[in-house]
């Protein structure tokens, strides 16, 4: 009955055969088991499975059908304080039980002192921040005995004290710690709009060899008396501009596992599957074009 976690952690399941997957949400537990849709993998926030009961029950059933990615929101890797040990312990318990093919969290912070704000708050891209972030990535990777992915954020305010671009900051964290990158293409689009960055230059600048997953989601416009911001709301379909940018990213990065994220106003499962089909079509098209060019 008891498994040896040390041994198990060395057997990381392979990446999915079909790259396009979807986030599994509580609303779709029954549907996904009944419909068994053609998707490459599922992803969940581990924090929602720290307790027992219904959530773990359904995750176990869904895991029998699909490869799993665990995408955390609570490690607060960018905080000027060490990652919480209890959070890591609970997280590792899930890794041992559900054997995800990869695990990730964000290039952001949410905890300051003993307050956890549960949002992906922006980091100044300085040498000091890089040091703190890398310390926490290393603590996490050491505790899990495997590499994690770090995801580029959406942000709504930019620091004048930045010492490097966002992609340089992320590349450097990946180089120092050996971690991989989860590239959120919607977040790049949001950053380009909110901060006047060239989205294609961002994709060209990121270290392609490190990218192991892509995220796609819908965003929302927010109007102020002095201008407009895009907010990463995960509550609607992926926008056409972001699909275009995704095509550009896939051409550069290849068939990377791609996840459709949808967390608010969650529609029927078939809508999410439809979005993942669209991502798969783009992957297939780019693959065929590359093959024809050889």
Partner 1 sequence: MRLNKIQEKFRNTIFDPDALDKNFQSIFISGGISAANRMKVYRNNVMTSLSQAVIAVYPLTEKLVGTDFLKGAVNKYVISNPPDQGNLNFYGATFADFIADYEPAKNLPYLPDMARLEWAWEMATLADDDAPLRPEDLQETPESDLPDLRLRLRACAHLLESDYPLGKIVDFCRAEKQDGNLDIGTGGAHMMIYRPKLQTQMRKISESEFIFLRGLRDGNHLMAATEWASEADETFDLAAVLQKHLQMETFKAFGGEK
Residue 53 binds to partner 1 (criterion: CB under 8 A): yes
Q: Is 27 in the site for partner 1 (CB under 8 A)?
A: no
Q: Contacting partner 1 (CB under 8 A), which of 224, 292, 293, 294?
A: 224
Q: Which stretch binds partner 1 (CB under 8 A): 49-57, 182-190, 242-250, 286-294?
A: 49-57
Distance in angstroms (rounded) separating the CA atoms of residues 150 and 212: 10
**61 scored as a contact of partner 1 (CB under 8 A):** no
Residue 23 contacts partner 1 per CB under 8 A: no
Nearer to partner 1, 131 or 178 (CB): 131
Helices 54-65 and 85-98 sit at what angle, rounded to 10 degrees? 40
Q: Of 42, 31, 29, 30, whose CA–CA distance to 261 is shortest? A: 42
Alpha carbon distances (Å) from 101 to 18, 29, 98: 13, 20, 9
CA distance linking residue 280 with residue 292, whole number of Å: 18
Compute how many residues bind partner 1; rule: CB under 8 A. 52
- Give 227 or 240: the residue with its C-beta nearer to partner 1: 227
Q: Is 80 an interacting residue with respect to partner 1 (CB under 8 A)?
A: yes
Q: Does 225 bind partner 1 (CB under 8 A)?
A: yes
HEC letters along 193-258: HHHCCCHHHHHHHCCHHHEEEEEECCCEEEEECCEEEEECCCCCCCCHHHHHHHHHHHHHHCCCCE
Among 160, 240, 292, 293, binds partner 1 (CB under 8 A): 160
Hey, what are 147's tokens?
């590499």
Q: Which residues bind partner 1 (CB under 8 A)?
A: 47-48, 50-57, 74-76, 79-80, 84, 86-87, 90, 109-119, 121, 123-124, 126, 128-129, 132, 156-161, 195, 222, 224-229, 231
């Amino acid at each position: 009955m008891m498994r040896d976690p040390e041994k198990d952690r060395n057997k990381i399941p392979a990446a999915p055969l079909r790259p396009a997957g979807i986030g599994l949400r509580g609303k779709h537990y029954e549907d996904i088991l009944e419909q068994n849709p053609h998707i490459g993998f599922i992803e969940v926030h581990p924090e929602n499975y720290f307790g027992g009961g219904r959530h773990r029950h359904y995750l176990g059933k869904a895991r029998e059908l699909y490869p799993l990615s665990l995408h955390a929101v609570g490690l607060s890797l960018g905080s000027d304080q060490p990652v919480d040990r209890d959070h890591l312990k609970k997280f590792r318990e899930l890794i041992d039980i559900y054997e995800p093919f990869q695990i990730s969290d964000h290039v952001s912070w949410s905890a300051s002192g003993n307050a956890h704000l549960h949002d992906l708050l922006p980091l100044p891209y300085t040498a000091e921040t890089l040091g703190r972030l890398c310390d926490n990535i290393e603590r996490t990777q050491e505790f899990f005995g495997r590499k994690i992915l770090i995801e580029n954020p959406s942000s709504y305010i930019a620091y004048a004290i930045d010492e490097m671009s966002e992609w340089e900051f992320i590349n450097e964290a990946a180089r120092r710690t050996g971690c991989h990158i989860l590239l959120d293409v919607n977040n790049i689009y949001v950053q380009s709009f909110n901060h006047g960055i060239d989205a294609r230059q961002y994709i060209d600048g990121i270290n392609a060899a490190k990218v192991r997953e892509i995220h796609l989601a819908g965003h929302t416009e927010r109007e102020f008396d002095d201008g407009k911001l895009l907010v990463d709301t995960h509550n609607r379909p992926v926008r056409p501009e972001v699909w275009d940018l995704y095509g550009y990213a896939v051409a550069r990065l290849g068939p990377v596992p791609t996840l459709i994220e949808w967390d608010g106003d969650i529609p029927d499962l078939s809508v999410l599957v439809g979005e993942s089909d669209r991502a798969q079509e783009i992957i297939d098209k780019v693959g065929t074009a590359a093959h024809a060019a050889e």
